[in-house]
A = this chain, B = another copy of it.
Amino acid sequence: MSSGPLLIVLSGPSGVGKDSILLRLQELGYPFHYTVTATTRPLRPGEVDGKDYYFVTEAWFERELARHGLLEHACVYGRHYGVPKAPVVTALAAGTDVILRTNVDGARSIRALAPGEVLIFVMPPSLEQLEDRLRRRQTDSDGDIDRRLSEVRAELGALDQFDYAVVNEEGGLDACVSTIAAIVQAEKCRVSRPPVGLA
């Protein structure tokens, strides 16, 4: 009913499962334009450049920042992350829904930039389960994990700036993905939604 494509922003604490959700949506064939975030952090084992992230140099990142080529950007634990704007603008202009993943601060920047978007906060079932998940992932040091958990407490305080909150239960990925799909389906029927406006 609403005219124009959706810009869906999937956010939430680090380790909550945003990547798995996007991968599952892709596997299920949801016809979104899936953005790839650019980052200066090193590639983790199993990650693929251009698929999981664009692994870029500091110089590339600074150049894109200077020319306003990033939709949002953040510095997390000394590493830069940012969503290149051009592919998003192109996809929306072609009428394609866009889904992107960002941390909580990034979601708030996008809300300021593009009032027509749909902000979804992915919640851990509990802080204990999130901690367990981060430790099992074995990609971060204990110090990193402690820092992350205290950030999560702060991020949960930003929940009221989001449109939807979806809990990603342990072992409940499919239920979480199906809820996100329902949110997208419902948003397409909203009578009044401002069109996504990206410069």
**A residues neighboring B (CB under 8 Å):** 1, 121, 123, 159-160, 162-167, 179, 181-183, 185-187, 189-192
Min CB gap A182→B, angstroms:
4
How far does the alpha carbon of A121 sit from the alpha carbon of B190 in the complex, in Å?
10
How far does the alpha carbon of A142 sit from the alpha carbon of B96 in the complex, in Å?
44
Which residues does chain B contribute within 8 Å of A182, judged by CB atoms?
A: 181-183, 185-186
The residue that A1 contacts in the complex, of B1, B165, B187, B191, with Cβ under 8 A, is B165
Task: Say how many copies of this protein the assembly contains.
Answer: 2
Which residues does chain B contribute within 8 Å of A189, judged by CB atoms?
A: 164-166, 179, 183
How far does the alpha carbon of A186 sit from the alpha carbon of B123 in the complex, in Å?
15
Instruction: Assess the A160–B192 pair: CB atoms within 8 A.
Output: yes
Which residues does chain B contribute within 8 Å of A167, judged by CB atoms?
A: 1
How far does the alpha carbon of A167 sit from the alpha carbon of B189 in the complex, in Å?
9
Which residues does chain B contribute within 8 Å of A192, judged by CB atoms?
A: 160
Closest 6 CB pairs of A and B: A186-B186, A182-B182, A182-B185, A1-B165, A183-B186, A164-B189
